Structure 1
Amino acid sequence: MTHAVFSPAADHIPASPTRPGRVVPEPVDAERVADLVVQLLSALGEDPGREGLVDTPARVASWWRTFLSPDPSAATTCFTETQLSGQLVVVGGMSVWSLCEHHLLPMNLDVAAGYVADGNVVGLSKFGRIAQRHAGRLQVQERFTRQVADEICGVIGGQDVAVAVRGTHLCMSMRGVRMEAARTTTLQATGRLQTDPALSRQFLTLATAQWRVA
């Protein structure tokens, strides 16, 4: 079972990681989180003081603090390549974990990002950092896809960007309909990658090639 969501250019919101109005998460209060985990375990009928659970609240709090605190200072590097113009660059094979904000259950997101180079190329590892930064929060896949595309647009200083994401959602696999094979695909395309059919097909062919063999 596959569910696809495609976002047209009209839904694009020009942005950068530091644009005004961007919500910056508050620091995680690990001590308070640990206290709440103790309460949760008690409400579930468990004994938080028993041997197997005595350190669980602290471990859970530490994980939340780490997961919700991605490094915001990682700079995205561009390299000047004056003879490059019109070349499609696609980076795939990126896999990140995020949390569904509706059920607080994990979702695994396979990400492919592409842009049209125009005198500059982006450091390849930076695509993974961008994806990790937007995944490290309570999310929905549709918003994540748009946010990654927005940031790449800001990095390249242009609109010729596309991001495709295929998600596996535990909120659908282990609860509700419990369909383990269900996948959700989202696409955010802007500029020529939204308006040029040939370029769009090239991106989708390259972006989804890995998914067909997974």
Structure 2
Amino acid sequence: MELEQKLTKVYEIEHSLQTLMTLCGQQDGIPDLNETPFRVIKAFLEYTVGYRENPTEHLEKTFDISQNDPIIVKDIEFYSMCEHHFAPFFGVAHVSYIPDKKVTGLSKIARVVEGYARRFQVQERLTNQIADAVQSVLKPKGVIVAIEAKHLCVSSRGVKKEEAKTFTVVSHGVYSDNPQLRSEFMMAIK
């Protein structure tokens, strides 16, 4: 898209955001809010930076290390945006895999989480995308991903349950077949 077309879209969105602010009851003419629509656009571009990358590419850097036991990266903080309400949801992801022949850098797991979280999302899809990425690129004996998150669309609107959290789990390979491995993972992330 040409620069002129992009700028036209930005101006249209700014106008729409100003209309939304007025609809919500915001009075015109408050100087401190003149730049709010543009700041909102910039924020949304940051919230959705994951669309402008392929998170699986982070996993392509591997090392030939003999490892038969699980590798667990836990408490990976993330922030995402609910695709239904454009309300934030945030929490932690826990990722474990049992390598077959190769491992990746620990930070690469966190980058995959970040890459998929920084999109309009639902937690269930996010959990699946992370597990599927690790499975497809690293081809481990098994992978399991658990996410615990707080959704502002649940706590600050609608049902307004402030303490509610959502927990999702996806597993592949030996983590799907072996209840003891799943149990060990769940104990490790507590």
Smaller-chain TM-score bracket: 0.7 to 0.9
Amino acid at match of 1:173: S
Verify the 8 A CA contact 1:30 1:65 in the aligned structure 2. Answer: no
Partner of 2:3: none
Equivalences for residues 26-175 of structure 1 within 5 A:
29-70=9-50, 72=53, 75-76=58-59, 77-81=61-65, 83-84=66-67, 86-158=68-140, 160-175=142-157
Task: State TM-score, norm by structure 2.
Answer: 0.87
How far the C-alpha of 1:57 sits from its partner, in A, is 0.7
Corresponding residue pairs, total: 180
Greater RCO, CA 8 A, separation 6+? 1
Aligned to 2:177, which of 195, 202, 205?
195
Paired residue secondary structure (2:31): coil
Q: Equivalents in 2 of 1:151, 1:58: separation in Å?
A: 34
How far the C-alpha of 1:159 sits from its partner, in A, is 5.5
Name the structure where helix makes up a greater proportion of residues.
2
Q: Equivalents in 2 of 1:109, 1:56: separation in Å?
A: 27
How far the C-alpha of 1:64 sits from its partner, in A, is 0.9
Any stretches of 5+ residues in structure 1 without a counterpart? 1-26, 210-214
Q: Equivalents in 1 of 2:127, 2:28: separation in Å?
A: 39
Q: Equivalents in 2 of 1:68, 1:49: separation in Å?
A: 30
Q: Equivalents in 1 of 2:172, 2:160: separation in Å?
A: 34
Q: Equivalents in 1 of 2:12, 2:107: separation in Å?
A: 35
Q: How large is the RMSD of aligned CA atoms in angstroms?
A: 2.0
Amino acid at match of 1:78: T
Name the structure where strand makes up a greater proportion of residues.
1
Identical counterparts, % of pairs = 30
Q: Equivalents in 1 of 2:10, 2:47: separation in Å?
A: 12
